[in-house]
Amino acid sequence: MIPLPQPDQETRFFWDACARKELMILRCNACHLYIHPPRPACRRCGSTDVGPARVSGRGVIHSYTVTAQPVPGYEPPFTVVLVDLEEQEGLRLVSQIVDVEPQDVRIGMPVEVTFRQASDDVWLPFFAWRR
Protein backbone atom coordinates (compact mmCIF):
# COMPACT_ATOMS: atom_id res chain seq x y z
CA MET A 1 0.00 0.00 0.00
CA ILE A 2 1.18 3.52 -0.77
CA PRO A 3 2.31 5.30 2.40
CA LEU A 4 -0.11 8.21 2.69
CA PRO A 5 0.76 11.68 3.96
CA GLN A 6 -0.08 12.62 7.53
CA PRO A 7 -0.93 16.30 7.08
CA ASP A 8 -0.18 18.73 9.89
CA GLN A 9 -1.09 22.37 10.38
CA GLU A 10 1.66 23.49 8.03
CA THR A 11 1.08 20.97 5.23
CA ARG A 12 -2.69 20.42 5.23
CA PHE A 13 -3.31 23.08 2.56
CA PHE A 14 -1.01 21.22 0.15
CA TRP A 15 -2.88 17.95 0.38
CA ASP A 16 -6.31 19.63 0.46
CA ALA A 17 -5.36 21.42 -2.76
CA CYS A 18 -4.19 18.17 -4.35
CA ALA A 19 -7.56 16.61 -3.54
CA ARG A 20 -9.09 19.49 -5.57
CA LYS A 21 -6.51 18.76 -8.29
CA GLU A 22 -4.73 22.02 -7.66
CA LEU A 23 -1.03 22.43 -6.94
CA MET A 24 -0.41 24.99 -4.20
CA ILE A 25 2.92 25.95 -2.66
CA LEU A 26 3.40 27.99 0.48
CA ARG A 27 4.50 31.56 -0.27
CA CYS A 28 5.68 34.50 1.77
CA ASN A 29 3.14 37.29 1.49
CA ALA A 30 5.78 39.90 2.31
CA CYS A 31 8.61 39.07 -0.11
CA HIS A 32 6.83 36.49 -2.29
CA LEU A 33 9.39 33.70 -1.82
CA TYR A 34 7.95 30.22 -2.37
CA ILE A 35 8.68 27.98 0.61
CA HIS A 36 8.82 24.21 0.24
CA PRO A 37 8.65 22.08 2.33
CA PRO A 38 6.19 24.37 4.10
CA ARG A 39 7.57 26.25 7.11
CA PRO A 40 5.81 28.71 9.41
CA ALA A 41 8.15 31.57 8.50
CA CYS A 42 10.03 32.95 5.52
CA ARG A 43 13.72 32.06 5.51
CA ARG A 44 14.54 35.12 3.39
CA CYS A 45 12.75 38.01 5.13
CA GLY A 46 11.62 36.46 8.40
CA SER A 47 7.97 37.25 7.89
CA THR A 48 5.45 34.88 9.45
CA ASP A 49 2.81 36.08 7.02
CA VAL A 50 2.89 33.04 4.78
CA GLY A 51 0.08 31.37 2.87
CA PRO A 52 -0.73 28.98 0.04
CA ALA A 53 -0.41 30.19 -3.54
CA ARG A 54 -1.51 28.34 -6.64
CA VAL A 55 1.30 27.47 -9.06
CA SER A 56 1.21 26.46 -12.71
CA GLY A 57 2.18 22.85 -12.21
CA ARG A 58 4.75 23.20 -14.99
CA GLY A 59 8.42 22.47 -14.54
CA VAL A 60 11.42 20.53 -15.77
CA ILE A 61 13.12 17.42 -14.45
CA HIS A 62 16.12 18.38 -12.34
CA SER A 63 17.16 14.79 -11.65
CA TYR A 64 15.67 11.32 -11.48
CA THR A 65 16.28 7.73 -10.46
CA VAL A 66 14.72 4.58 -11.87
CA THR A 67 14.10 2.34 -8.88
CA ALA A 68 14.43 -1.35 -9.63
CA GLN A 69 13.30 -2.85 -6.37
CA PRO A 70 9.88 -2.81 -4.76
CA VAL A 71 9.04 -0.19 -2.17
CA PRO A 72 5.74 0.06 -0.30
CA GLY A 73 3.02 0.91 -2.79
CA TYR A 74 5.07 0.54 -5.97
CA GLU A 75 6.31 -2.28 -8.14
CA PRO A 76 9.52 -1.71 -10.08
CA PRO A 77 10.53 -0.19 -12.31
CA PHE A 78 9.27 3.27 -11.47
CA THR A 79 10.91 6.64 -11.93
CA VAL A 80 11.24 9.05 -9.04
CA VAL A 81 11.83 12.59 -10.27
CA LEU A 82 12.87 15.91 -8.83
CA VAL A 83 10.92 18.62 -10.60
CA ASP A 84 12.06 22.23 -10.75
CA LEU A 85 8.85 24.24 -10.74
CA GLU A 86 8.91 27.15 -13.15
CA GLU A 87 7.83 29.74 -10.57
CA GLN A 88 11.18 29.99 -8.79
CA GLU A 89 14.73 28.75 -9.31
CA GLY A 90 15.46 25.74 -7.11
CA LEU A 91 11.85 25.19 -6.05
CA ARG A 92 11.66 21.41 -6.25
CA LEU A 93 9.09 18.70 -5.71
CA VAL A 94 9.69 14.97 -5.36
CA SER A 95 7.31 13.02 -7.51
CA GLN A 96 7.06 10.24 -10.09
CA ILE A 97 6.83 10.61 -13.82
CA VAL A 98 3.99 8.72 -15.43
CA ASP A 99 3.45 7.42 -18.94
CA VAL A 100 7.13 7.72 -19.88
CA GLU A 101 9.36 4.65 -20.22
CA PRO A 102 12.20 4.76 -17.69
CA GLN A 103 14.86 4.77 -20.44
CA ASP A 104 13.26 7.86 -22.01
CA VAL A 105 13.40 10.07 -18.91
CA ARG A 106 15.91 12.92 -19.24
CA ILE A 107 17.15 15.78 -17.10
CA GLY A 108 15.63 18.97 -18.49
CA MET A 109 12.50 17.22 -19.77
CA PRO A 110 9.50 19.58 -19.51
CA VAL A 111 6.74 18.17 -17.33
CA GLU A 112 3.31 19.09 -16.06
CA VAL A 113 1.44 18.00 -12.96
CA THR A 114 -1.23 15.33 -13.17
CA PHE A 115 -3.09 14.08 -10.14
CA ARG A 116 -3.53 10.40 -9.30
CA GLN A 117 -5.80 9.06 -6.60
CA ALA A 118 -3.99 7.12 -3.86
CA SER A 119 -6.88 6.59 -1.42
CA ASP A 120 -10.40 7.84 -0.74
CA ASP A 121 -9.18 11.29 0.23
CA VAL A 122 -5.57 11.51 -0.99
CA TRP A 123 -4.52 12.61 -4.47
CA LEU A 124 -0.84 12.69 -5.35
CA PRO A 125 0.73 15.25 -7.70
CA PHE A 126 2.54 13.15 -10.30
CA PHE A 127 4.09 14.59 -13.44
CA ALA A 128 3.72 13.83 -17.14
CA TRP A 129 5.90 14.76 -20.09
CA ARG A 130 4.81 18.16 -21.47
CA ARG A 131 5.44 17.58 -25.18
Stretch in the footprint of other proteins (CB under 8 A) among 20-28, 46-54, 75-83:
75-83
Only segment of 19-27, 51-59, 91-99 that touches other proteins (CB under 8 A): 91-99
CB within 8 Å of 21: residues ≥ 6 apart = 115, 123
Residue 95 as a binder of other proteins (CB under 8 A): the answer is yes
The angle formed by the CA atoms of residues 3, 61 and 92, to the nearest 5 degrees, is 60
Buried b (16+ CB within 10 A) or exposed e, 52-63: bbebebbbbbee
Q: Which of 31, 37, 45, 48 binds other proteins (CB under 8 A)?
A: 37
Binding other proteins (rule: CB under 8 A), the pick from 16, 30, 78, 129 is 78
Give the whole-angstrom CA distance, residue 54 versus residue 27: 9
End-to-end CA distance of the chain: 31
**Nearer to other proteins (CB atom), residue 8 or residue 99:** 8
Residue 13 near other proteins by CB under 8 A = no
11 binds other proteins (CB under 8 A): yes
Any contact of residue 96 with other proteins (CB under 8 A)?
Answer: yes
CA distances (Å), 91 to each of 14, 37, 74, 88, in order? 15, 9, 26, 6
Site residues (CB under 8 A) for other proteins?
1-8, 11, 36-37, 62-69, 71-74, 78, 80, 82, 90, 92-96, 102, 107, 118, 122, 124, 126
